[in-house]
Structure 1
């Protein structure tokens, strides 16, 4: 659960997806309109041909602006231009006839859904106005044969083909918008709305990934948050953590994680195979920098009666947005009662030796991206060696996360890394599976206590 990094990655990915969708839609509309402009010109329908150049140009401009990253400008220009074009085309050219019905007004539905989607992306009175106006216009043109005096209807021979083509395109665009709307409802705002209920209804769950020492002995675990949704199944943390961060729910979610972790440590305290394990939880910057965080941790530790030295709080370097003085003060308060701190994803944020000396950090976690690069290039290997050496020189326990292969483990072990975490040693699993894994590993050397230890662990 690394909310700041996940939030940034999710937002960037979502923006790229939205931009690509508008580029594609703009290009499709431009090509479709150009096709009709050519058809009308070939039939010497010059007024219609010129009219179709309007959405063609608009689509091209929209594509260029979207490609340049000016998404808000695309939306305003495209929606206004197409609303005006559809209205004018229905009034002047696409009038109801006995042999072929009007179909251009169907695009008002697509425009309405587009406006609502854009309103969900960024609240806007303009987008809601476009949505409402498009729906009203659709009803008006679908209910009566509204047209301007002197209208020039499209020739019947062309209309009979256009009815099918335009209806097919408008339906395809509407289907695409509905799919986009469905994605919007599962991330991120709708997800955020369901999170408080998920906490109340016990849908959140901690999974545990082992952390091992040089000898492969499990010395602790990192608690990773999972959400078992009653309808959608397991919801990825990449979806609900950024949603919670955006909605300001991370202090609430993080508070639940803290309580659940303390409850786990309290249960382990009386179990010989588990009582010496440490448990690490991730703390978001918004949670850590909130007033009263240190007091909340102290109260929770006291409430569950756990050994505070077994609880480890993992912070990313982004926590320093709260100011190094305030961060150091809060960390020192908790350090005095035995809480330890790990600096997570080291090297990916605001890495600085100056703040490392001023913060009471106990452990340095090498980011998985560095671990993967360590066996892929000499530069990557040199970087990891230097991080390990620096951590050891500063008397930190150096832990490498994301260890997935024997080659990575061997390199890190020989390089002086103290502890390890990753799929090579075990995936995140429910608490029962993790406890059995720990007990089974210990009982390899003491098989005569098998029944007693399993009973104690559960």
Structure 2
């Protein structure tokens, strides 16, 4: 799928800036360091329950750091928040009880965790994250309002006083750091949005082309993939700018540019004997498809560029199935009347059902790369892919396997009855001139 399918990246690089990842790493080490230092101090005093809790803080900080290092930042932050929330509540109930001389102070860490949660929620909307934020705030209200005492641990008054000042300082510093991180992230996103809005008008987008082949590995077409080469940022991953473009409402304009450029290329191929047999697949986002003037724009673009609609393939994701399905069917039928082929991309990862497949005027189904790459090593995945190919053929649709990287994968898919393929085995996305040159002799 052209616009929406970028190269595979690690989880945290999809959602977080390098600065943010670094901040979370150092923050987790700081938490571990605070826990270790305080564990040593209270061990010298002989308060072993406190030592146990501080050791738990140390372990939580190290665990978060390891998860981030291994690329699981979102999960690491979420799990770390949950663990630290429990520890903060336990400290507030068992250790940091208010006295006539010193107030409870450890519950301030719950505000830090809530602020951290909000920052994380801005990057990845999650119900679990939202629930943790709510629990942190509720716990803060309870601990700051109720005079709860504990019979289990009674700290010396001097230790309690020093701890109150130390925790107040650390919690306030950490909260200030979270606020600074929020401001930095909002500023970054705001500038990123402005750069993205200007990119289309400055001509910073370009298309690359990945070959699609038949069972004999002869090139039968290509998929156009969108790239952004920013003068300030360099090459920006589609994973980073596509979601933001959707939020800003830019996908209709960007998608229209992609379609027009693709049709111009298709028209040029039609005038070249060695290229006129090729098809070109172009992504259409859900917001673009559902725009009221989309069919009119497509018809006008075909007329203006003189591209052959019989060689044009428009790819949709399964997300179209959660919109107005009757309107989607009407729009796709209008495109089919123009002679355009409709493909369903990343099949099996979203909302597909047999009833939808039977109703939607789709001619091609693209098997998601995750199924393709598992098929060689897993009998279950292999059986699933085989059944998808058989089902697709029974529905009189063509099937194309994406993400093929090895000869073994190609041969297995061909054995299952797949006749069209795409992946690094046949060629990585390349500039138009390179793609045309390698196919001029075919």
Question: Structure 1 length normalisation: TM-score?
Answer: 0.65
- Quote the Cα distance in structure 2 between the aligned partners of 1:23 and 1:168: 12
What residue is the counterpart of 1:34 in the other structure? 38
Highest relative contact order (Cα 8 Å, sep 6+), 1 or 2?
2
Question: CA-to-partner distance for each residue in 1:48-75, whole Å, 9 max, x for gaps?
Answer: xxxx99xx89x89x9899655878x97x
Q: Name the SS of the counterpart of 1:343 in structure 2.
A: strand
Return the offset for 1:190: 3.8
What residue is the counterpart of 1:432 in the other structure? 433
Given that residues 4 and 238 in structure 2 are in contact (C-alpha distance below 8 angstroms), is that contact kept between their aligned partners in structure 1? Answer: no
Tell me if 1:205 matches 2:209. Answer: no
Return the offset for 1:254: 1.1
Label 1:189 to 1:218 Cα distance change in 2 as closer, same or farther (>3 A). Answer: farther
Return the offset for 1:403: 0.8
Tell me if 1:392 matches 2:393. Answer: yes
- Quote the Cα distance in structure 2 between the aligned partners of 1:224 and 1:380: 27
- Quote the Cα distance in structure 2 between the aligned partners of 1:368 and 1:257: 23
Gaps of at least 5 residues in structure 2 are 65-75, 93-101, 103-111, 125-158
Question: CA-to-partner distance for each residue in 1:386-427, whole Å, 9 max, x for gaps?
Answer: 111111111111111111111111111222112111111111
Given that residues 3 and 245 in structure 1 are in contact (C-alpha distance below 8 angstroms), is that contact kept between their aligned partners in structure 2? Answer: no
Given that residues 10 and 239 in structure 1 are in contact (C-alpha distance below 8 angstroms), is that contact kept between their aligned partners in structure 2? Answer: no
**What pairs up with 1:122-137 in 2 under 5 angstroms?**
none
What residue is the counterpart of 2:150 in the other structure? none
- Quote the Cα distance in structure 1 between the aligned partners of 2:118 and 2:416: 55
Return the offset for 1:327: 0.8
Given that residues 3 and 226 in structure 2 are in contact (C-alpha distance below 8 angstroms), is that contact kept between their aligned partners in structure 1? Answer: no
Tell me if 1:249 matches 2:253. Answer: no
Return the offset for 1:334: 0.8
Label 1:377 to 1:35 Cα distance change in 2 as closer, same or farther (>3 A). Answer: closer
Return the offset for 1:242: 2.0
Question: CA-to-partner distance for each residue in 1:312-371, whole Å, 9 max, x for gaps?
Answer: 110111111212211111100111011110111111111211111111111111111111
Given that residues 228 and 235 in structure 1 are in contact (C-alpha distance below 8 angstroms), is that contact kept between their aligned partners in structure 2? Answer: yes
RMSD: 5.1
Return the offset for 1:170: 11
Label 1:323 to 1:340 Cα distance change in 2 as closer, same or farther (>3 A). Answer: same
Label 1:394 to 1:15 Cα distance change in 2 as closer, same or farther (>3 A). Answer: same
Give the length in aligned residue pairs: 371
- Quote the Cα distance in structure 1 between the aligned partners of 2:438 and 2:231: 28
Q: Name the SS of the counterpart of 1:342 in structure 2.
A: strand
- Quote the Cα distance in structure 1 between the aligned partners of 2:381 and 2:319: 23
Given that residues 401 and 421 in structure 1 are in contact (C-alpha distance below 8 angstroms), is that contact kept between their aligned partners in structure 2? Answer: yes
Gaps of at least 5 residues in structure 1 are 43-51, 82-91, 93-109, 123-153, 443-458
Which protein is bigger by CA-based radius of gyration? 1
- Quote the Cα distance in structure 2 between the aligned partners of 1:317 and 1:273: 34
Given that residues 263 and 301 in structure 2 are in contact (C-alpha distance below 8 angstroms), is that contact kept between their aligned partners in structure 1? Answer: yes
Given that residues 23 and 67 in structure 1 are in contact (C-alpha distance below 8 angstroms), is that contact kept between their aligned partners in structure 2? Answer: no
Given that residues 365 and 399 in structure 2 are in contact (C-alpha distance below 8 angstroms), is that contact kept between their aligned partners in structure 1? Answer: yes
Q: Name the SS of the counterpart of 2:227 in structure 1.
A: strand
What residue is the counterpart of 1:421 in the other structure? 422
Return the offset for 1:201: 1.1
What residue is the counterpart of 2:99 in the other structure? none
What residue is the counterpart of 1:229 in the other structure? 230
Given that residues 10 and 238 in structure 1 are in contact (C-alpha distance below 8 angstroms), is that contact kept between their aligned partners in structure 2? Answer: no
Q: Name the SS of the counterpart of 2:281 in structure 1.
A: strand
Tell me if 1:239 matches 2:240. Answer: yes
Given that residues 2 and 282 in structure 1 are in contact (C-alpha distance below 8 angstroms), is that contact kept between their aligned partners in structure 2? Answer: yes
- Quote the Cα distance in structure 1 between the aligned partners of 2:117 and 2:363: 51
- Quote the Cα distance in structure 2 between the aligned partners of 1:318 and 1:257: 20
Label 1:66 to 1:183 Cα distance change in 2 as closer, same or farther (>3 A). Answer: closer
Tell me if 1:357 matches 2:361. Answer: no
Question: CA-to-partner distance for each residue in 1:175-218, whole Å, 9 max, x for gaps?
Answer: 999889777766x5543331121111111010000111122221
Label 1:378 to 1:325 Cα distance change in 2 as closer, same or farther (>3 A). Answer: same
Given that residues 10 and 242 in structure 1 are in contact (C-alpha distance below 8 angstroms), is that contact kept between their aligned partners in structure 2? Answer: no
Return the offset for 1:277: 1.3
Q: Name the SS of the counterpart of 2:377 in structure 1.
A: coil
What residue is the counterpart of 2:383 in the other structure? 382
Q: Name the SS of the counterpart of 2:328 in structure 1.
A: helix
- Quote the Cα distance in structure 1 between the aligned partners of 2:217 and 2:119: 51
What residue is the counterpart of 1:24 in the other structure? 28
- Quote the Cα distance in structure 2 between the aligned partners of 1:177 and 1:229: 29
**What pairs up with 1:255-404 in 2 under 5 angstroms?**
255-404=256-405
Q: Name the SS of the counterpart of 1:398 in structure 2.
A: strand
Return the offset for 1:289: 2.0
Given that residues 317 and 345 in structure 2 are in contact (C-alpha distance below 8 angstroms), is that contact kept between their aligned partners in structure 1? Answer: yes
